[in-house]
Structure formats: structure tokens, C-alpha cells
Amino acid sequence: MPRYQRHIFVCINEREPGHPKGCCLEKGSAEVRDKIKDELKKRGLAPIVRANNAGCLDACEFGVTLVIYPEGIWYGGVKKEDVEEIIDRTIVNGEVVQRLLIPNARYAPDSLQYTKVQE
């Protein structure tokens, strides 16, 4: 079994104020990442699901952006308040939270077949 079954990469890229692309950090990505780490620990999932800081994921206009591998699920506009639902539905139950999918075909999930985390 691999060391981690899933990785959640959260963009924490920062740009200077006023940059036309903006950045995920100014939209609260550090708080999203911290909440993900807390919720994984609370549920005993930290040994098998890893939350990682990421640089720019090239989806700046949709930030806060995160991507979950191996499925390749791209979520955008993520807020701290969305984290429990992402963990419960996507990580634990293998469901996609449709309203958080980035509305662009370029970020469409690789597959709609998801599997539950094996403990």
C-alpha cells in the first residue's frame, strides 16, 4: 500500500497586491489548508491523506484552488467553511462536491469513478 492514498494540494501562492491575476493566499488559502490538516487529524486520516502546500496551480481566477490526487478533482472558490464537506464527501465517501468543481473543461475530473479511502 502506498504511503499516502491521496494528496490534497492547496495553492498558497502569493502575489503582490494589485496584481491582475490575484492569488489564492489573499483569498484565504492558508486558512483552508490549516482547516484541512485539522480535519484530517480529527478523523484519523492524516497517516493516509496528505495536505500539501502548492505554488500556483494555474487556476488563479478560480481560487482558492485545490486539487485532489490520484483522482484529479479540481475544486475552486474553496472557503474554510467548505472543508468539512470536502473531507466527508470526497475523501471519506468518494463523492464529488459538484458546486465546488472548477467550471472549466480544462479542470474536469479525470474520472467520475471514485473509491473510498481504505483504512
**Given the rule CB under 6 A, which residues bind ligand FES?**
11, 13, 23-24, 56-60, 63, 65
**Comparison of 11 and 83: residue with beta carbon closer to ligand FES:** 11
CB of 86 to ligand FES, least distance (A): 17
**Comparison of 46 and 56: residue with beta carbon closer to ligand FES:** 56
Under a CB-based contact definition with an 8 Å cutoff, are residues 65 and 57 in contact? yes
What are the helix (H) ranges across the chain?
29-42, 83-85
Cα 61 from Cα 63, distance rounded (Å): 6
64, exposed or middle or buried, with CB in 10 Å at 0-12, 13-18, 19+?
Answer: buried
CB of 82 to ligand FES, least distance (A): 16
**Comparison of 45 and 82: residue with beta carbon closer to ligand FES:** 82
CB of 37 to ligand FES, least distance (A): 18
